Amino acid sequence: MTTFWGTGAAGSGVAEIIGYVNGINYPQTISIPTLVTKALGVVLAIAATLCIGKEGPLAHIGGNIGAIILYLYPLDDFAFLKNDHKRR
């Protein structure tokens, strides 16, 4: 799924979210396919009792949910967050 559908889900997610908050646009880091791929991967990995860290992917999932909600609803109070220059 990471290779063909949710390409932004590769990696832990912490570095991508830090870069996104600082104004760097990684392709496909914030998208619904990335959210679904990352969430499904974390759930299946934890259910399989793999020894992996889940904190990084959960930070990426939370960042995806926050950004997607921000862009879905027309909230005028948070319109400045849609601009990379003002977000920094």
pTM: 0.79
3-state secondary structure of 4: coil
- Residue 29 is given by DSSP the state S
CB 46 within 8 A of CB 53: no
Give tens-digit pLDDT for 25-82.
888 888 899 999 999 999 999 899 988 888 889 999 999 998 888 777 766 666 666 6
Q: What are phi and psi of 48, to 5 degrees?
A: -85, 5
Distance CA 54, CA 42 (A): 7
Distance CA 29, CA 10 (A): 9
Looking at residue 37, its pLDDT comes to: 94
